[in-house]
Structure 1
Amino acid sequence: MLSVVGLGELAEHLYTDLVTRGSATATTLAERTGAGPDETATALDELTTQGLIAARHDNGSGRAGAARYAAAPPAVALEALLADRRHALRQAELSAAALAEAYRAATADDAHRDLVEVVVGPAAIGHRVEQVQRGAKSALLALVTGQYDVVPADATGAETEAVERGVAYRVVIGRQALGAPQAAEALFEALGRDQRIRVVDQVPTKLIVADGSVALLPLTSPGEAGEPAALLVRAPGLVRLMTVLFEQVWEWAQPLGLEAGLPVLGEAPAGEPVGTDRRILALLLAGSTDQAVAKQLGLGLRTVQRRIRAIMELAHAETRVQLGWQAHRRGWVED
C-alpha cells in the first residue's frame, strides 16, 4: 500500500512492525520479518532517509548499546510524503495536459494544411493541375471557361495520359470558349478521346474535381492584379459541394458531339413534362390535391401519383415545394 510513496515491500513491512510493536533493533526486526541482515539494513536506511524512522544508540540506562529503531508518527511522516507525491502528480498532470494540447495543435495544423492548400503563381498552379489529372483513377469533372490565363488545355499531356488509363472525363465549357483561339482543334481532340463535353451559356467558375476526393478552383479572376492563385481542396465536405455545383451545371448543359467532322450541339438532356404530365403539374401548382387531379383528368389516383413521382425525378425534386420551384425555374409553367 505504501509503494505509492516510494517504499519497497520490506521497508513497508518493517515500518508497520515498528508502528504496531514499538522500537526494536535491526537484529530483532530481521528475526520478526525473516529477512536477512543485509536486506534489513538496506530497508532501514530507506526508511531513515524518508524520515519514517529514527535510530537511537541508547539502551535506556545511559550506556551505548545496539541501535534501536523507532517509527515516526504516521500522521506527520506519511502526510509529508503524500504531499510530495501530490505535488509531483500535479506537475505531471500539467505537463501531460501541455503536451496533449501541443499535440492537438500540431496535428490540427497538419490536417488543415492537408485539407486545404492555397497555390500561388502560374507555375505552381500548372503543377497542381497536372498532379490532379495524373492522380485521377476513375473520373474527372471539369468546368472550363476557355480563358487559359494560367494553364492551357492539356499543356502537359496529363489529360491524354489520364484518358488512356481509363479515366472518364466529363467537361462543361462556356459558350464563349467555342470561339477561343484553337478551340475547335482542342474540342476535336477531346471528342476523339471519347470525352463527354457539354456547353452552357456561362460557366460559373473554373473547376476540376478528381474521383470525388480532390478539387481545384481559382481564387483570383483573370486580369486581376497580382499573381493568380488557386485553392486545392481535399476536405470531403467541400469536395462534395464542388461536385454538386458541377452536376447542376452539367444538368443544364447541351451535349456536344461530332457530325460530319464538325462539333454539333444536341438537345438539353433534362427534358420536360409534356401532355398529360404538364396538365398534372399545372393542376398541382394551382393547389389541387392528388384526388382532385385524378378526378378532373379521369385518371386513377395511383396513376396520378406515379406520374407525379416521375415529374419530381425529372426535376430532381424531393418535395412538392421543390417541384414547384424547379417548375418555375425551368419554365415549365406560365408565371
Structure 2
Amino acid sequence: MLSDVLGLTPEQSDTYRALISLAPATAAELAESLGFGVGQVVRTLGTLESRGLAGHSHGDTTRFVACPPATLRALLIQRQNELKLAEVELDSLAEFYRAGALGRGVADVVDVIHGTEAVREHIGHMQLGAREEVLNLVKAPVISAGSLTDGAAIARGVRYRVILERAILGERAAPFDNFVEARAAGEEVRIAEALPLKLFVVDREFAMVPLLGPAKDARGGALLVYESSLLDALIALFESEWGKVTQAVGSATAVQNGSAIEDLDAQILSLLLGGLTDSAIAAQLRISLRTVARRVRNLMDIAKVQTRMQLGFQVSRLGWLEAERDGSRTE
C-alpha cells in the first residue's frame, strides 16, 4: 500500500489513484468519484501537488493530472536512504566491536582527520595515488572545486563517478560550466535529490567521509576508512545511489529525421530532469528565464507532448541524451 510504504494517508493514496484513472479531472469530479467533499479533495490535491504527485492540466488549469507513478520513486528513495544510513551505522558499530574482540585498535579501521585544510590535503593525496576508480558523493558545502575531479588522474585512465546533490546546482552554487567541463574530460556525473553523506572512495581500498560544517569552519574533519566491512558498506551505499539517479550532463543525440537538439537544449533537459527550477536553470546556464521557457516549450512541441512530465518521459523513452561512456557499469 502507498500509505504504508511511502507515508501517504489513505485519503491521499485514494485520491492519487482516482486521478490516474480520471485525469484530467476537476476537484468536483474527483469528489464525486471518491465520495469526498470538494473542499477535502481540494486540500488533498494541494498536498499531492506540493509532493510532486499531481499538477494542473496544461490546457485547462481547473483540471488536475497525476504525475507518472515513477515520481513516487523519489519518496521511496528517501525511505531507502534512511535505511542505508542505519545500515552504515550498524556496520560501523559491528566493525568496532569486531576490532575490539580481536584485540586490535579502532585506528586500524578508521583514522580521524582534524581540520578542513587537512581534509582537503588528504583528498588531494588520495587522488594523486588513484589507479582505477574514484567514487564521490558531493553535498553542499563543497569541500573545494579541485576535490571534484583530477584531470591528470582521468588522463591516466582513472574512472570518476560523481553524484551531486541537487542543492549544489542552486542559483548561488557552483556554475554548471564546471560540471560540463568535467563531463567533457571523462567524468561521469549524476544528480540526486538528496544524499545521505559526503563520501570520497579511491580504488575501493579506502574512503574519506568528510564531516564538515560551513566552508570557512576550520573545526571540520573527516573519517578515513580503510578496508573493512564498513568500507564495503560505504561502497554499497554509493552503488545504490548511483543506480537510482539520472545522468546530470547530457549531450544531444539524434531526435527526428536525422536532426539533433542543440547542446543548450540538452543541458536544459539535463537540469530539468535533475529537478531544477526554471530560474535555477537560467542562472546556471547564464540565459534568461524567458529563453528557458521558450526552449522547453519548443522541446515539448518536438516531442508532441502537452506537459513537462510527459516531456521527461519522452526524453527517457527516446534516449535524447547521450548515454554515459562505458554504459552504467557497476561493480
**The two structures share one fold, judged by TM-score above 0.5:** no
The normalised TM-score by structure 1 is: 0.43
TM-score norm. by structure 2 comes to: 0.43
Structure with a larger share of its residues in strand:
1
Structure number with bigger Rg = 1
